[in-house]
Amino acid sequence: MLDLDINNLKKYYGDRPILDIKDLEIYREDRIGVVGLNGSGKTTLLNMILNRGKGIKISRKAKMGYFNQDLSILNENKSIIENMIESNIYDETTVRIILARLLFKREDVYKKVKMLSGGERIKVSLAKILTSDFNILILDEPTNYLDIYSIEAVEEGFSRLKELENKKEKTQQRHGRKTYIREKSYARI
């Protein structure tokens, strides 16, 4: 099933071309990584997809999950578990398992978000998105501020989610030339 179709998408900053995508089709179960240098248009592309810009067609059945760097989906005055329960589609046991795989111990789930480090906030935000109802997942630099153990835990979280749901599409953007989450195809910008 075709979920996302991009045709003749162009974007300029002044006279400088940032994006020029002739044809890109993303089907259910595809995993696409968008990689490129700083300022090359990765986040611009993701925002154009989210805003359904000109040249972008998204299936009516598409439900987007979006991780952005501002972590605005978290309520800092609530605990981790309170934030998680707000929008998840899984039972509390599954949510706790996912949090545990992201290195949150049993008592950690009662910490207020405002008391967490930047990396911990990213993990909670990712967990919240991963347990929400989506079939297209867009991640804008999800591993920033994470150490290698946390990155591995995030990978494990994706694996666990795939076991649980098994039909999610992941679109990930990352600065530089390497992505830590294994993907099967890439769009280099």
pLDDT digits over 138-181, tens only? 888 887 778 888 888 777 767 766 665 554 444 445 444 333 33
* Contact criterion met (CB below 8 Å) for 184 and 26: no
Helix 148-164 / helix 118-130 crossing angle, nearest 10 deg: 10
Other Cβ atoms within 10 Å of 52 Cβ, number:
12
Query: CA-CA distance, 19 to 57, in Å (whole number)?
Result: 17
Task: Enumerate the β-bridge partners of residue 138.
Answer: 66, 171
* Amino acid identity, position 100: A
Contacts of residue 93, Cβ cutoff 8 Å, sequence gap at least 6: none
Cα R_g (the chain), whole angstroms: 17
**Number of folded domains that form the chain:** 1
Please report the pLDDT score of residue 124 as a whole number.
93
Long-range CB pairs of 10-14 (<8 Å, 24+ gap) are: 10/55, 11/41, 11/44, 11/45, 11/48
Q: Write out pLDDT tens, residues 47-87.
A: 888 888 888 999 888 888 888 878 888 999 999 999 999 87
Residue 95 sits in which domain range? 2-188
* Contact criterion met (CB below 8 Å) for 71 and 119: no
Q: Give the CATH number of the domain where residue 33 resides.
A: 3.40.50.300
Please report the pLDDT score of residue 161 as a whole number.
65
Other Cβ atoms within 10 Å of 2 Cβ, number:
12
Highest mean pLDDT among 22-26, 73-77, 131-135, 150-154: 73-77
Identify the CA nearest to 111 among candidates 65, 73, 77, 136: 77
pTM of structure = 0.72
- 41 versus 128: the higher-pLDDT residue is 128
Query: CA-CA distance, 11 to 148, in Å (whole number)?
Result: 34
Q: DSSP strand E in the chain: where?
A: 2-13, 16-27, 31-36, 56-58, 64-67, 136-140, 169-175, 185-188
